[in-house]
Structure 1
């Protein structure tokens, strides 16, 4: 029987389920972990509140945790990254989702409060907003929370500060700081998905253009590498002398932002800090400069300063692109309202990338359930054996074999008595 293409009006649930299934194809490690959880049920009786990007890849993680017996409430960590059809499909799976694309700031925080109404035992966060609310506005729930996981650099910076001040009330695992996540997610994932979002929003050619990358951590390094690979001239700005030296030795031009502002065609902030691009820098930029953020919060580029400098705003000159006209006629293009360009103007990291990050997340939650009773409040690294297991499973899924140490090699590495 011949099959013809025809227009079919499908429900959001159907579209969301299809998205989740497609993501699952690229996440063999997390799928295998979910199957193991379904057999072992490590989360029976546990309530988990999560504040993450509500995407198809996140749905695969939620499915793995639910298969292990968890009751879950999910809020969005960024209102512009929420995929409404995925949220609808997750509701059908029995996961309480409090998220809608494009909500205002007040609704965003209301959704986090609704997720916390679950009275969680464990929390998962992406940027520390949920943990922050727990410690400031929902302190009545703190005694019931025995641990958490944090997904991003920005969130871990905030958590370490809380711990240093003695304010953090429960142990949190720094999932972002594993070797696999920094390599796969931060460097390769952020590098590819950031440029994907920029090109979808603007349709500009990067070859021959000057791209200014603010921050040369793992994410900034990935953006710089991908931009250079596409033929761009890349300038790096940094506050860390060691990272700046590293960028210089890799062949990038290193400048202060004040100097880079006058020559850049495209600016990408990837720092996790605020006020990286200020009114002073904006006033120096040339006509047509493009501004994008891949550093989590919408405070890296001073959007309010941009609004103050502009005499006119042309919203939506392209999808996720707003044009600000300055008094002298220069036009500056802001992408994704200054929010995460890779998750707003594109779809975030490929599923294969999130397979690594969320596998570490899932195994860290399982580790927490057994270790939380003996852990004092603070920020903890993911155990090395979890990181190695994720890498091993990923290699196996890709059909890649590696060498193993012989007994003699093991002995040599662990003995100081053997000479050269």
Structure 2
């Protein structure tokens, strides 16, 4: 069967439009182009099936095509039902990739697509958020024996994998791409910082300058969101549970307070913690009329939708990707993209140049785990791959740096000199 016959997608007729999107990001992802050329020569995935569960938009599509260029038979499913772009999926299928995804999939359809991807019987996987890995272990444990290994790129996914590894239940090796410097220092900070505000502004068409932005969580994603909000002219308040991160936020020039206090001041709220119930009834009860709620974490659990529904006399869609929750006291708050990942559900995700680094790490990490000899568990990506991606990025920008002399290397490794 051809990829078109095997796939479950919205409309193959959208392929031409999707191809234009992929061509655009390819032109702005020079690192991935270099890796694709390398993979075409080396064929590291020859004879292997690779299953990819990611946000299905143009940049991830190009990652799938780079893996395909390495000799793999590739199948994809979505890691979020609202971030899927049907034209891009159609273009992938037209390029010989099997796909199980469409925009707006119901929870049942979403899970069905993941199981169809597992029916493909991949030898290696790339996951985003951990749904593919957890489905394998919970529902199809016998199939874990078929998996050589895989990569995970999100903070949320790494948290789940760390829990599995600590319990000794992770049955195959996974590379923690998210923990690479070239991932979280740039993708999490500059990628999330720009793309989440892109999604918020595109969806609401509201001014950020002069408003108060509450950033819930001050990890690397939160740092990027706060920095961009400040640059857009907002007053920034940070909420945290970690005293060290809270101290960082203070020293970076931001106000820090509990969420219930911050809720009284915020015009925009953006959650980015990887945890559940970060904004709940207690905060909703004191929010200003017209507050805008957005989530930049992987799952739609950070803003309590059950509490919003329970407090509201009515819920209606007032603009694409904006739900209005009208409270009994007359106040209204607005939830973007159903509380899902706002930069992808309401936008195109991170800039291509940032994802060029992240997806280079994904591709190189996948080659590492497939061709290496890794034991089951969670593994850091090798430092030399991290350094390679950073060096390639600098080269593409025409930037050169110094190197240590032999005398300097000896000095740093000695305690007697």
User: TM-score, normalised on structure 1?
Assistant: 0.95
CA distance in 1, matches of 2:25, 2:357: 13
Other-structure match for 1:189 = 191
Other-structure match for 2:349 = 348
Look up the SS of the partner of 1:236 in the other structure: strand
Look up the SS of the partner of 1:325 in the other structure: strand
* 1:220-242 alpha-carbon deviations (Å, 9 max, x no partner): 00000000111111010011111
Other-structure match for 1:270 = 272
Other-structure match for 2:374 = 375
Other-structure match for 1:144 = 146
* 1:251-274 alpha-carbon deviations (Å, 9 max, x no partner): 111101111111111100000000
Other-structure match for 2:363 = 362
- The structural deviation recorded for 1:408 is 2.2
Other-structure match for 2:86 = 84
Task: Give the alignment of 1:263-302 within 5 angstroms.
Answer: 263-302=265-304
* 1:274-302 alpha-carbon deviations (Å, 9 max, x no partner): 00011111111110000000011000001
Task: Give the alignment of 1:192-207 within 5 angstroms.
Answer: 192-207=194-209
CA distance in 2, matches of 1:146, 1:370: 9
* 1:52-84 alpha-carbon deviations (Å, 9 max, x no partner): 010100111111110111111100000100110
CA distance in 1, matches of 2:144, 2:365: 20
1:414 aligned to 2:416?
no
How many residue pairs match? The answer is 406
Task: Give the alignment of 1:39-118 within 5 angstroms.
Answer: 39-118=41-120
Gaps of 5+ in 1: 1-9
CA distance in 2, matches of 1:66, 1:163: 29
**For 2:236, which of 231, 234, 237 is the aligned residue?**
234
Gaps of 5+ in 2: 1-11
Other-structure match for 1:306 = 308
- The structural deviation recorded for 1:188 is 0.1
Other-structure match for 1:403 = 402
**For 1:24, which of 19, 23, 26 is the aligned residue?**
26
Look up the SS of the partner of 2:171 in the other structure: coil
- The structural deviation recorded for 1:378 is 1.1
Other-structure match for 2:319 = 318
More moved, 245-254 vs 409-418 = 409-418
User: TM-score, normalised on structure 2?
Assistant: 0.96
CA distance in 2, matches of 1:321, 1:225: 25
**For 1:252, which of 244, 254, 266 is the aligned residue?**
254
- The structural deviation recorded for 1:375 is 2.3
Other-structure match for 1:384 = 383
Task: Give the alignment of 1:5-20 within 5 angstroms.
Answer: 11-20=13-22
More moved, 405-414 vs 212-221 = 405-414
CA distance in 2, matches of 1:192, 1:303: 25
CA distance in 1, matches of 2:169, 2:196: 34
- The structural deviation recorded for 1:204 is 1.2
RMSD over aligned Cα, in angstroms?
1.1
CA distance in 2, matches of 1:105, 1:305: 20
CA distance in 1, matches of 2:175, 2:202: 34
CA contact under 8 A between 2:13 and 2:90: conserved in structure 1?
Answer: no
* 1:68-108 alpha-carbon deviations (Å, 9 max, x no partner): 11111100000100110010010011111111001111100
CA distance in 2, matches of 1:370, 1:14: 35
Other-structure match for 2:333 = 332
